[in-house]
Each structure stands twice: as C-alpha cells, then as structure tokens.
Amino acid sequence: MIAGIAPVRQPGLDFTAIDFETANGFRGSACQLGAVRVRDGLPASRAVWLMRPPAGFDRFDPRNVRIHGIHADRVADAPRFAEVYDAFAAFAGDDVLVAHNAGFDLGVIESGLEVSGRDVPAHDYACTLTLARRIYDLPSYALPSAAREAGFAPGRHHDALADAEACAAILVDLARRMCPPGEATVDALLASQGLRRSRLTARAAGTGRESRPTRQARTMPGLFDATIPLADDRTLPDLMRWPDEGVNPEPAADADPGHPLYGQVVVFTGGIGMSRQEAKNRAAQRGAATANRVNGRTTMLVVGDGVDPAELAGAPEVNGVVADPGATGPAGSGGDPGGAVAHRKTREALQRRAKGQAIALVSEAEFLQMVDGAWPAGAR
C-alpha cells in the first residue's frame, strides 16, 4: 500500500493516476512517467519510468531541469518515449486515466506519439485539478496543496511517481466526499459536478490534423533537438524579465466556460518562459481577464521564478511581514532579493488573502499547462 492514501475500500473506484515530467517546453518531450493503478479506492500497483524524449525533441531546457531535476545524462541509456508508452499502456489497460491538469498529461501522450510516428490510441480521462477547484476551498489548487487537503502527505513535487500518488489520493478523497457509500466511481464523482469523462480520440499515425502543440513545435525546427547546437546557448536558461506589462486583451467570447482560467482575473509577477504580453494573450484566449496590479478584483496570481506557490500559501509572518520560504530571512530584511515574496504583487496578494479575499496562487508550470502551450520561440 502507498503511504498516505487512507485504506478505505470504495468498491468500483478504479482508475490509473499518472504524471509526466518533460525535458523542455514542448509537451511531447516526456522524460519521466509515474503511474498508480487504483482498485476499489485502494492503490493496487505503481510504476515509474525514465525515458529519452522522442528524437528531435529531446533537448533538456534548464528551465525544466530546474523544476524536476532530471538531466539528459540521467536518461542517456533509457528507452525512447514510444517504447515506454507501450509498457505504460499494458500497465494501465482500459482504465480511466486521472491527472492533475489532465489535458496536459494526455497531451504529452498525444504529442509524444505524434512525433514518434505512432498511432494515437483512445484514452478516457478525468482531471483532479478541475474537480478540486469545484469541491475544495483552497488558496492554491497546485498539486501539493490539494493533496494535503485530501489528507495525503505529498512526496517531492515534480517527481512523477510522487505526483501520481498525490493525484490518486486527491481523487480517492473527492470520491469519498461526494459519492454515497458504496457508489463511488470516477463517473459518479464527475456526475456530481455536472461533468463527464473527457476523451483522447484515436487516430492512426499520419492521418488527420496533428495536435496544436505538435504543430507549434514543428514551426521551430532545431529548437528542441539535442543534436543541433543553439545559435547562442547562453540564451537558453535565461528567464524573461519584463519592463512593460503590455496591454490587457479582452477575454475570448468563445472560450470554454469549463476551463480553469475562465472568468478569472489574472495578474502576473516574476519571470516565466514567455513575455508578459504572450502570457496575457494566452490567458485571455481561455476566457480570463488580465490586469497589471493586484486589487479587489484579482482572483489569481501567477508567480514566476520557479517558486512553488504551495510554500508561499503557508509562509509565516515575521513582525507583520510575510517570510519568503526561499530566502535567508524575512522579505525586506536581508533575505534573497530575488525571492518571490520580494515581489510587491505577491506581498499584496498574500496580505489581501489573509484578510479573506480569494486569490489563487499559481506556478509558472501550472499556468503553462493550463494554457496548453509550449514555451514560445520569443522566450529564447
């Protein structure tokens, strides 16, 4: 049994929880996969694979390495993604796949198989991020925060197996809360929130239109290929810092109301792997309004610089000042000046949240997953 998941049997609650880590901004560049198979609400088996991303999309971006700690030499002798996918498919069988922001993880499967020249199979899936946002009441719905709400002590965030275990625990807890005893299934949980399974549609290799992330990656030849030197390697690890907020576009009228960004009022702080304007445009495409400053309308703050918002959500106060968990002292008193709490917007959001305003803190990685995009070429 996996430590932390309550040993309470829930007949019929069967699924496989998954988590991918990627080598670079292209979602098809998987380098690690963790999976937990759950039967009757209890973990039955688990597996973790390291892999080389598909050839031509296997450059390890320092921004991603900074997040998960996996370097190219660690997977040098590992099988390629397509071979690992075959092993995973045998492990999961016909299970509903569950992930925290499942659109991203299923997109990893789709794009990885597309650039590997393989058929894309059908997979039904459900998203614990979407469910957690509807059922929990949290300042941050990042995986560690949601897992702790589920009563699970998460392992190292961005280790694929630890995150798959946390995802499994979240779904088990949500089903326990929302489904009558003896009637807990993935479908029953989804139905309790007016949702149903999503599906990755099967497609034979070379037929139909490729996914948008794959089409986008193919417009950047050589950018993700480890065998092709970049024009200037020094530009790769640099995070963008924006002197200009840009303009705040109108939310897209045809955006999906079920998307986690829909209806949010989003503010950005710190550096992520795209310009501030690009980030705002992508948020608006998903139905969010954006703003330059944190105020009474703000519902989400995207925190860059590789900071885990779950740590900020629990940051203590020292003499009335929120302490930066990544600094050597409290913000404003000799701590790391680059720490996230040194950002005026972060301090303002934390202060407003302490007074009761509902402001979600979202990491750069979570935001990138929510907007279904790779790092744009302009970030280089």
**Intra-chain end-to-end CA distance of the chain, in Å:** 44
Q: Using 50, 70 and 90 to split pLDDT, how confident is the model at 373?
A: low
With H, G, I as helix, E, B as strand and everything else as coil, classify residue 290.
strand
Whether 10 shows a pLDDT value over 70: the answer reads yes
pLDDT in tens, 82-109: 999 999 999 999 999 999 989 889 999 9
Bridge-based pairing of strands 198-200 and 123-127 is antiparallel
Q: Using 50, 70 and 90 to split pLDDT, how confident is the model at 141?
A: confident
pLDDT computed for residue 204 by the predictor:
97
Whether 282 shows a pLDDT value over 80: the answer reads yes
Whether 335 shows a pLDDT value over 70: the answer reads no
Whether 14 shows a pLDDT value over 80: the answer reads yes
How far, CA to CA in Å, does 204 sit from each of 26, 113, 208, 216? 21, 10, 8, 20
Mean pLDDT of 175-182: 94
pLDDT in tens, 149-175: 999 998 988 999 999 999 999 999 999
List the domains of the chain with CATH numbers. Answer: 15-218 (3.30.420.10), 239-379 (no CATH)
pLDDT computed for residue 305 by the predictor:
67
Task: Say if residues 156 and 129 touch (Cβ distance below 8 Å).
Answer: no
pLDDT in tens, 214-253: 998 998 888 899 999 876 544 443 332 333 577 899 999 9
